[in-house]
Amino acid sequence: MTAVTAVAAPPRSGWKGLSPARRTMIIWLGAMLVLSIVRIIADADDLTSSGTISSTLRVATPILLAGMAGLWAERAGIVNIGIEGMMIVGSWCGGYGAWKWGSWAGIAMALIAGSLVGLLHALATVRFNVDHVVSGIAINTLAAGATEYLSIIFFKGQKGGGESQSPTGKGGYGEFDMPFLSGGRIGSWRSPDILGWFERKHDLPLIPDVAGFVRGLTSDIYLPTVVAIAIIPLTVWVLWRTRFGLRLRSSGESPQAGESLGVPINRLRYQAMAVSGSLAAFGGAYLSCVFTSTYRQGQTGGQGFIGLATTIFGNWQPWGVFRGSILFGFPTALKFRDEKNVPALFLVATIALVLVAVLMLMRRRNVWAVSCLAAAVCTVLAYNIIDEVPSEFVAATPYIVTVIVLAGARQQLRPPAHAGLPYRPGDSH
């Protein structure tokens, strides 16, 4: 008998040989370097300021929560088109709860209501095998009509309320700064603002940009924002480090294989949809409780659908969803801060396109390289010609970038194999 000797695979070198943490660090430093160069060239100091970063976090949080709702649903095998409707329900319940009992009570009420709506979507798709898209659209329509009707019943005639908005909520969350890093207070004593000192050194490259980024993460922070960001590592741990997460992901990848091993597929999908609905409703409550302290009709503004886009953009990975939400939130936050800095994004796009073109040339994908260089020429001309960018274009920028990224990286996207497909336990598959 001939012995077979196993040959170990050679270690990867270069970029593929780096750990995910090192890759993330290199990408982050590269992005900061690009923004720093553009800040100096365009004299756009607000491009990487701590105020812009803080605003980006606040704008991106509802989108992040919507994207996480989509991730939990699709990892279990259910396509949740109803995220927008769940956010609408969450924003209404958040506004009502904040008006009656306070902001935290509003968020708690939204979480309960969102989980119930999520279970409704699970009942339709799991128990009755309704098409996932049809069920989601029905939830969106029902949520919009029901909240409008409830507003007339509960808010009309109340002080500060009306047919399309709630009275102002009670209480708030406040903001906090980290001591020493961002000048936070320790008792009545205000500590030094070390990062703020570095941020004001605008004549230096990279250093003020990194300081502004870190200071934006440690100053003017709402506690609900911290909770929302903490959901990311918690999701990573639950879905990729626990038995429950392994079984839930098997429900989205191959429910037949999971069923053969005794995994309760239907029960897991109900549980996942309860979590998905709660996360989406949390995003809606964030808008009505944290942003404005008031529910307003149409407040979600389609952010549930944007959340679905971040789920795809993030390749169904929690940290990828976070990057997608930041991509959507940054142009909007920059516009809120100072519109004159928005044209600098054309220079950012130019540098990014040139780098992508070089990468495509190295991979011998000449057509993509030429296309990227042509787009870079267009963006640099736009920077030199356009002095003021229309607000409609700023709002559409994330969608344009997402379409480009999804078109270029479609081969690397890996959705759950059984997401959206009908399934009945016990049937012959």
Whether pLDDT at 364 is above 70: yes
Whether pLDDT at 1 is above 50: no
Whether pLDDT at 272 is above 50: yes
Q: What is the pLDDT of residues 209-240, one digit of tens each?
A: 888 888 888 888 888 999 999 999 999 999 99
pTM value is: 0.90
- Residues 150, 167, 111, 91: is their CA dihedral positive or negative? positive
Domains and CATH numbers, the chain: 42-173+222-335 (1.10.3470), 189-220 (no CATH)
Residue 118, token pair as written in the block: 């999520």
Q: What is the pLDDT of residues 301-324, one digit of tens each?
A: 889 988 998 898 888 999 989 988
The pLDDT, as a whole number, for residue 241 is: 94
Entry field: residues in the chain? 429
Task: For residue 14, name the pLDDT band (cuts at 50, 70, 90).
Answer: low
Read off the pLDDT of each residue in 156-167 and give the average, rounded to a whole number. Answer: 89
